[in-house]
Structure 1
Amino acid sequence: MVPVQRLFFSAFGFVFILLFSSFPLKAQMVFTGQILDLRSERTFGETGQKWSFRPGDSSVIPNGGSSVEDIEYGSAEPILFANAQVQLSEQSRTGWISGFSIQTAWDKVKDGDGEIYFPDFASYFQKYKGYGWYRAEIKISEEDLKTRFKSRYLTLRLGQISQADAVYWNGKFIGGTGLSLDTPKDTVLEDKSLYSDKTRFYRIPVGQVKTEEPNVLAVRVFAKYPLSPGLSHDKFYISSLRYSERAEYWNDFKKIFVIVLTVLLGSFYLYWQFLFRKDEHATIYFSLGSFFMAVNTLFQSQIIYSILNDGFWIKKVEYASWIALVHFLFNFVVQFAKVHKGWIRRTNYIVDVLGVVAFATVFVLPDLYSLSQFFFYWSFVTVVLGLALCYVLFLGRKVPSMGTVSFGIFIMISLLLNDIFVEMQWDWYPAHTFMKDYAFAGFSISVALSIIRNMVESRKLVEKQREEKDRLSRYFSPEVMETIVNDKIKLGGEERYIATLFSDIVGFTTFSEKNPPGVVLDHLNAIFESLSELIFHYSATLDKFIGDAIMAFWGAPKRTDLDAYNAIACAVEMQKKMVQINQELGLAPGTFRLRIGVNFGEAIVGNIGSVKRMDYTVIGDAVNTAARLESHGVPGKVAVSEAAYLAAGGDKYIKYEESKELMLKGKAEPVKVYFVTEVLPRS
């Protein structure tokens, strides 16, 4: 495990331990002294705000007030509810339940005898039309304004309320979500007006904050479906306007971070696929999963509410993107782990079909409740996929970077389980805050670490391949070297027209007899290095060194119309180069000279030998003829066969001092030979 992974694991372990160290507490811990916590129980068992709850809607006070102009609601006739007033009338005082927990759905709150107050939501909705009221008295002192808030501009933060609300501070309407200041009594809202996951921030008018007497906070809530009704999730507190803005920025930043990170990772993986992994599908699945993760995060963020004003469709897109995300990530892990067993492929196919069906079903469900119920039961499919992933990860444990990806999946599953427990509101579970943002970020970071690791490994592979090429370039021509590196070699050959060149150093044997072996080797290497560069310059395949001789050919692996021309041009340049080499070695002119023979004809080219030891070369009569031309040649001259002469363009490009017919070994008839001195330029 790399140091970065250890650091990440340590940080996650610390958060995990810290979370469960608060096991006895029933409220989410808040590590700040700048807020007034409104939950029924505070951190470390301190006494919190006392809340009361009354089922049903409120009676209305006649002639409540004049028309109100508001930038959000426009012109509206305010309805003054009796339950929102600072002083309750005799009629409104009855029916309130004191000590009501605001972090538990009202259909889960128990009385002193352990009995649930409202166990049957359907009966509650039929009797009370889904409405309920919360009230609390909040004490704020001048000292609080000076030291805790450090401001008179205060904001009320209400966590995720299911499913609509309107808020009153000291009898004055300060904001609502789904419910407005003129929503009539007992109105049944449409599903698009239900916002279960929106975090509420409401500014408290400066003139409405009392320091001499308690402030009265009244919240009118509406729940159409049994989906954690009431004030049942997340943090509830009062803070300064500046603090709440920072909290909003932080919430938005978390979402934007995940969105940007996943989009970048998805795009990078597509780019990675385009460059390096054209035959693998893992990168495609991860890219698509990343894009749907970004969509899912956007539709869970507070940002989406300023774009789309339809809570029902927000949930539809959120659930659909989550279904797509789970299936694409499952496919990503299966492909990444390189698990290709038959039953896994068939299971994966069935899972994909179910995913497509579930994705389409989300968009045709008629109401929020059926949508939520469907998603709840489909979540068990996610659990099954999670268990299957554990087995897939085990099968692919030897795949590079699988450990990093597995660690990220572990983080994501652990934090998603937190969200499930929060949604279920089980008494034994202490947390009340969703962690999905951190789950996505943790998984994305782990995959980013795997990408970095793959990039490092790929870099090492590229460097190793470059070193291998450098090493092979000393033994093979560039074309043959590329063929070897790309692993395209196979035993066998084919017939091609090949231009073959043989050269031999005249005078080298005599030089070897008179000089030490070290000097002989240094001079031979210097000669071969200079001649090899020239041969490669003319795009030849340098076949081999045979003692002090060189064999090269043109026409394989790549064939051009200038093969014969290039072979003769190279031979002429080699003769000129030999004169220069004598000078560079400090030898007398003519100490070393070359005999060169060039022929053009049909030969067999390919990998000759055995599977374990092969040689890329050419064989055939045309090759033997080139070797005979070299042995019968004249030192310092280039002997070119008539076939090569004509293939190179004849007297239009090739100049020679003489031509003669020679009887070569193995030939029944004499071969016409041209002793070439110059090759004219050719386009």
Structure 2
Amino acid sequence: MVFSKRFFSLSVISCLSFFSLNSLSAQVLLTNQILDLRSESSFGKDIHKWSFKPGDSPRITETAEDDVFLDEDSGEIKAHIFSYAQPTLEESVRTGWISGFQIQTGWDKVTDGDGELYYPDFSKYMEKYKGYGWYRTEIIVTKEDIQNKFKSKNLTVRLGQISQADAVYWNGKFIGGTGLHLDTDTDVQLDDKSLYSDKIRFYRIPYHLLKVDEPNVLAVRVYAKYPLSPGLSHDKFYVSSNKYSERAEYWNDFKKIFVIVLTLLLGSFYLYWQFLFRNEEHATIYFALGSIFMALNTLFQSQIIYSILNDGFLIKKIEYVTWIALVHFLFNFIVRFAHVRNGWIKLTNRYIDAAGLVSALIVIFAPNLFFLSKFFFYWSFVTILLGASLFYIIFLGRKVPSMGTVSFGFFAFIMLMLNDVFVEMQWEWYPSHTFVKDYAFAAFTVSVALSIVKNMIDSRLLVEKQKEEKDRLSRYFSPAVMETIVTDKIKLGGEEKDIATLFSDIVGFTTFAEKNPPGVVLDHLNTIFESLSDLIFHYSATLDKFIGDAIMAFWGAPKQTELDAYHAIACAVDMQKRMVEINQELGLEPGTFRLRIGVNYGEAIVGNIGSVKRMDYTVIGDAVNTAARLESHGIPGKVAVSEAAFLAAGGETYIEYEDTKELTLKGKSEPVKVYFVTKVHPRT
């Protein structure tokens, strides 16, 4: 078994009492469809009686028997019958059997009536009995069982995990074996590749061997080369219909395949999600690699692998290597996910990674299964500190988004692993005999997937919030300025640029305000500003501010183009046209509201002006003042454009005007030539 899982136990021992209650349900069997063969009571039901005898059985050779094999040395076909497997034991082999032996506990863990271990020293057992032992029990299958429970006489006996090889006999006939075969001679020492401690056995009972309403003798020959839960131990032992056992096999395979597919899909999805939004986040890589090795680990713990590889030792090596990789990738994932990889944690992380690489190499070159298991036993104690440190790291990263969800999954992962540790250790006070490791990493992976979903939801809410903020900002700033604010590129200061500036003022609005209630005045002003603002934004301008009933806008910042002056003049001409439409929409007499507009082009300072706590994105300078003066000296309903703006917009090629004037403006030593523009021609 995977002894490395024990490194979690000390970290969460305080939670054991709660989990042990939940584990009770793990040993519940569908007793209405099977005949339970376990030797421990379940919820008040009677225990199933088993007997055990150490050592191998003497052989009986009878040519008339059906169980035969080819003796390659003599070239003869001989029967190979064991005395201990016979339905009725001869007088010579009746003694030495221990009754009431527990099959769910390795024979080195079973005690007698005085609480003393029967076989405390495995090495002495191995020396005396060569690692062999026999189990026997009587099973009565009634007609009622056939009709109501099994609904068939085609039955299968399911034996849970047997350490480390077995051969099974029903009423004296060989019906199957794993590691041991019909022709495996007495006291033969198997090599490590023939040991399958984790394989679940399903053996069909031949139809003609089944006795109804009579005792059926089930005898199991077991072999244990190493002190690794020797004998019949762990999991479920029962008789069922072939159909039920097939479903059980399919279900076991399905669970493994489900975990494999789930871990691969969620790992790939998480990798895609992180690469899509956080390319610098290395936690994604470690989670994806952890998912891959978890899938491999699950595969090599499944019954599927035994149909692919016929080497139990190799299977166990690969299982342990993938587990080491999984543990280290999990550690790296949480460290990076919690964003605490610095200082001593970073240095420790390097040593842990190096230790993991060395551990994997030791596993690969392990000489035998016992060395491999012992190494993992000690390696697991070293990694206890690793498990404890993960809780500390989770605590340090508790403020990281979705860390709570990941922490819950990690906790579930530990609790499920802890169940398997206790089952493996065969502690009498622990009620469960069922492994749930199939669901451990799946639970953690699902929690990480939930964190992804949570991040997606949070990201969507953040996007919606940003959109709402943009919508609010768009009411105060132009799109260009709004993007600058949202992208956090604001800093105090400015720069010199060629700017096209537009000033407009509503003529007749002051008189209208004197004659109408404030509410009507404000409603009309907002209607005018909303319509003109849309037009200004349409021409990609920065709407600087509203000054009473005046508007200030400029082109050339934050983005500058060669068409800034042209767009300013085109916008001004359309504003005059729009003002005529606004009077009609408001139901006012033509000419009630008119615009004076002044446009200038020249060098100005643009940027964030004011203080750190309160600033305006605006333009200042002589060119701006000139535009304001042009507006104030302009003619209602006309667009006054300076010569500089006129020429920058393309001159007479694109701009039509009805008149020009020389205006003397305040602050100007020389008159300014002004064009009163009436039309703008299209320009690419």
TM-score by length of 1: 0.87
Equivalent residue number for residue 51 of structure 1: 51
Equivalent residue number for residue 42 of structure 1: 41
**Size of the alignment, in residue pairs?**
662
**Do residues 574 (structure 1) and 575 (structure 2) align?**
yes
Question: d(CA) in 1 for partners of 2:377 and 2:541?
Answer: 69
- Paired residue type of 1:206: Y
- Paired residue type of 2:35: L
TM-aligned CA deviation for residue 157 of structure 1: 0.8
**Do residues 102 (structure 1) and 103 (structure 2) align?**
yes
Please give the secondary structure, in 2, of the residue aligned with 1:102: coil
Within 5 Å, give how 1:423-572 maps onto structure 2.
Answer: 423-572=424-573
- Paired residue type of 1:215: N
- Higher mean C-alpha displacement, 664-673 vs 537-546: 664-673
- Higher mean C-alpha displacement, 383-392 vs 251-260: 251-260
Give the 3 Å change call, closer, same or farther, for CA 679–57 of structure 1 in structure 2: farther
TM-aligned CA deviation for residue 534 of structure 1: 1.1
Deviations 1:75-133 (A, max 9, x none): x9985444433344566556544433211112333344544343333444455443333
Within 5 Å, give how 1:260-659 maps onto structure 2.
Answer: 260-339=261-340, 342-659=343-660
- Higher mean C-alpha displacement, 261-270 vs 86-95: 86-95
Contact 1:39 1:237 in 2 (8 A): yes
Give the 3 Å change call, closer, same or farther, for CA 494–264 of structure 1 in structure 2: farther
Question: d(CA) in 2 for partners of 1:291 and 1:504?
Answer: 69
Deviations 1:37-85 (A, max 9, x none): 212233226131322233236536365658789xxxxxx9985444433
TM-aligned CA deviation for residue 398 of structure 1: 4.4
- Paired residue type of 1:541: T
Deviations 1:228-248 (A, max 9, x none): 122111111111223223333
TM-aligned CA deviation for residue 487 of structure 1: 2.6
TM-aligned CA deviation for residue 156 of structure 1: 0.8
Give the 3 Å change call, closer, same or farther, for CA 655–364 of structure 1 in structure 2: farther
Please give the secondary structure, in 1, of the residue aligned with 2:525: helix
Question: d(CA) in 2 for partners of 1:551 and 1:105?
Answer: 90
- Higher mean C-alpha displacement, 275-284 vs 381-390: 275-284
TM-aligned CA deviation for residue 457 of structure 1: 3.5
Question: d(CA) in 2 for partners of 1:79 and 1:568?
Answer: 109
Question: d(CA) in 2 for partners of 1:56 and 1:468?
Answer: 82
Contact 2:546 2:552 in 1 (8 A): yes
* 1:18 pairs with one of 21, 27, 32: 21
- Paired residue type of 1:18: L
Please give the secondary structure, in 2, of the residue aligned with 1:86: coil
Equivalent residue number for residue 74 of structure 2: none
Give the 3 Å change call, closer, same or farther, for CA 676–374 of structure 1 in structure 2: farther
- Higher mean C-alpha displacement, 401-410 vs 367-376: 401-410
**Do residues 30 (structure 1) and 47 (structure 2) align?**
no
Deviations 1:567-593 (A, max 9, x none): 222222222211111111112222222
Deviations 1:579-628 (A, max 9, x none): 11111111222222222233333333222221111212222333333323
Give the 3 Å change call, closer, same or farther, for CA 289–558 of structure 1 in structure 2: farther
Question: d(CA) in 1 for partners of 2:310 and 2:624?
Answer: 82
Deviations 1:10-31 (A, max 9, x none): xx99983635779xxxx95535
Equivalent residue number for residue 200 of structure 1: 201
TM-aligned CA deviation for residue 475 of structure 1: 0.7
Give the 3 Å change call, closer, same or farther, for CA 19–582 of structure 1 in structure 2: closer
Question: d(CA) in 2 for partners of 1:207 and 1:306?
Answer: 28
Deviations 1:246-280 (A, max 9, x none): 33343334334433443343233223323444454
Contact 1:154 1:239 in 2 (8 A): yes
Give the 3 Å change call, closer, same or farther, for CA 296–208 of structure 1 in structure 2: same
Deviations 1:374-410 (A, max 9, x none): 2222222432222223323333444454444333333
- Higher mean C-alpha displacement, 598-607 vs 229-238: 598-607
- Higher mean C-alpha displacement, 212-221 vs 472-481: 212-221
Give the 3 Å change call, closer, same or farther, for CA 679–346 of structure 1 in structure 2: same
Give the 3 Å change call, closer, same or farther, for CA 13–353 of structure 1 in structure 2: closer
Question: d(CA) in 2 for partners of 1:441 and 1:649?
Answer: 69
TM-aligned CA deviation for residue 340 of structure 1: 5.5
Please give the secondary structure, in 2, of the residue aligned with 1:523: helix
Question: d(CA) in 2 for partners of 1:479 and 1:194?
Answer: 73
Question: d(CA) in 1 for partners of 2:301 and 2:259?
Answer: 11
Within 5 Å, give how 1:232-251 maps onto structure 2.
Answer: 232-251=233-252
- Higher mean C-alpha displacement, 580-589 vs 266-275: 266-275
- Paired residue type of 1:621: D
Contact 1:52 1:136 in 2 (8 A): no
Deviations 1:625-651 (A, max 9, x none): 332333333332323334433433333
Equivalent residue number for residue 61 of structure 1: 61
- Higher mean C-alpha displacement, 260-269 vs 212-221: 260-269
Give the 3 Å change call, closer, same or farther, for CA 324–479 of structure 1 in structure 2: farther
Question: d(CA) in 2 for partners of 1:19 and 1:605?
Answer: 70
- Paired residue type of 1:33: N
Give the 3 Å change call, closer, same or farther, for CA 649–377 of structure 1 in structure 2: farther
Give the 3 Å change call, closer, same or farther, for CA 250–570 of structure 1 in structure 2: same
Deviations 1:511-554 (A, max 9, x none): 22222222211111111101111111122221111111212222
Equivalent residue number for residue 4 of structure 1: none
Deviations 1:485-523 (A, max 9, x none): 233322223333333222222222222222222221111
Deviations 1:410-439 (A, max 9, x none): 332222222111112223323221122343
Question: d(CA) in 1 for partners of 2:319 and 2:649?
Answer: 71
TM-score by length of 2: 0.87
Contact 2:69 2:183 in 1 (8 A): no
TM-aligned CA deviation for residue 202 of structure 1: 1.6
- Paired residue type of 1:326: V
Equivalent residue number for residue 677 of structure 2: 676
Please give the secondary structure, in 2, of the residue aligned with 1:569: helix
Question: d(CA) in 2 for partners of 1:524 and 1:424?
Answer: 83
Structure 1 stretches lacking a partner, 5+ long: 1-11, 70-75
Structure 2 stretches lacking a partner, 5+ long: 1-14, 71-76
Contact 2:56 2:186 in 1 (8 A): no
Question: d(CA) in 1 for partners of 2:556 and 2:507?
Answer: 28
Please give the secondary structure, in 2, of the residue aligned with 1:18: helix
Please give the secondary structure, in 2, of the residue aligned with 1:362: helix
Give the 3 Å change call, closer, same or farther, for CA 476–13 of structure 1 in structure 2: farther
Equivalent residue number for residue 11 of structure 2: none
Contact 2:67 2:80 in 1 (8 A): no
Please give the secondary structure, in 2, of the residue aligned with 1:657: strand
Deviations 1:293-316 (A, max 9, x none): 333333323333344444333323
- Paired residue type of 1:42: S
Give the 3 Å change call, closer, same or farther, for CA 303–515 of structure 1 in structure 2: same
- Paired residue type of 1:531: L
Give the 3 Å change call, closer, same or farther, for CA 467–215 of structure 1 in structure 2: same
Question: d(CA) in 1 for partners of 2:361 and 2:537?
Answer: 62
Contact 1:53 1:98 in 2 (8 A): no
Please give the secondary structure, in 2, of the residue aligned with 1:46: coil
Question: d(CA) in 1 for partners of 2:493 and 2:78?
Answer: 93
Give the 3 Å change call, closer, same or farther, for CA 654–614 of structure 1 in structure 2: same
